[in-house]
Amino acid sequence: MGTAEHIAPQDLAAPSRPRRRALIGVAAGLAALTLMAGAGVLRGGAAGASAVADPLAARVARLEVALAAARDEAARAAVLPAAVSIQRADGFIAAALLLQSAVGTPRPWLREYRVMVALAPPDALPGPLAEVLLSHAARGLPTEAELRERFVALAPQLVSRAPRQGDVLDQTFSTMRGVVAGIGLASPPAPSDQEQAIAGVAHQLRRGNLAAAVSDAAALAPSLQPLLAGWLAQASARLAVEQAIQETLLRALAAQVPPA
C-alpha cells in the first residue's frame, strides 16, 4: 500500500481557515438562491391573485355605477313629469291672476290673455270661458268706477222719462208740486216707483255691487231701456269677464287639491 496522508484528529474536528471560508461561501450562495426563489414565488402568486381580483373588482365597480345611474334615471323619469306639470299649473294660475289684474283697468288685455292660454294645462280653459275673455281682450271694458259715473250722468234723463203713476191730472199735480218744491214753497212729491228703482241702481253701484245694479237696471220700465242699452251692454260684459276669470281660477285651484 502506498503511503497514506496522515490526517490528524484535530484537523477533522477543526477545518482549516480556507475550508471554512469555502463552506461559508457555498452556504451564502444557497441562501441567496432560496430567497430569490421564494420572492419569485411570492411575486408570481401576488401577480396571479391581482390578475384574478382586478377584473372582478372592476366589473363590480362598473355594475355599481350602472345601477346608480339606472336608479337616478328612474327617479328622474318618475319625478320630472310631475314637476313639470306642477310648474305649468302654477304658471297658469299666475297668468290668470295677472289677467284678472289687467281686466280691472280700462286698457286692453290681449297680451295677458295670450300668455295665460299658452300656459294653460289640458282642459284648464274651456271654450266658453275662453270666448268670453277673448271677445273683449282687444279693446278692454270700462271699470266699475267708470260705469258708476256714467250711470250717475244718465240718471236725470232716466228720471225725466220715467212713466208717471195715476191719471193725467195726478201727473200734472205732481209736476207742479215738484216745481213749487224746487223754490222751497212746498214739500217735494213722493218719488215714483221708477224713480226709486233708478235711485236703487245708483245705490248698488256705490256699494260696488255691479251684479245687483245690472239686475235692477234691466228691470226698469221698457220705455227706459233704449237709454240704458249701451250702459247695460258694457256692464254686463264686465260681469261676464270677471266671472269667467273667477271660474278659471277656481278650476285651476281645484285641480291642485289632492283627492281625499
> How many CB atoms within 10 Å of residue 240?
16
The pTM score is 0.60
* pLDDT bracket for residue 6 (50, 70, 90): very low
Q: Which amino acid is at 237?
A: A
- The DSSP output letter for 224 is G
> How many CB atoms within 10 Å of residue 52?
10
CA distances from 120 to 88, 112, 252, 255, 259 (A): 7, 12, 9, 12, 21
* 208-231: average pLDDT: 95
Please give the span between the terminal C-alpha atoms of the chain, in angstroms, as a whole number. Answer: 126
Contact of 139 with 108, CB cutoff 8 Å: yes
Q: Say what the pLDDT of residue 40 is.
A: 46
Comparing 238 with 256, the larger pLDDT belongs to 238
Convert the pLDDT of each residue in 125-164 to its tens digit: 999 999 999 999 999 999 999 999 999 999 999 998 988 7
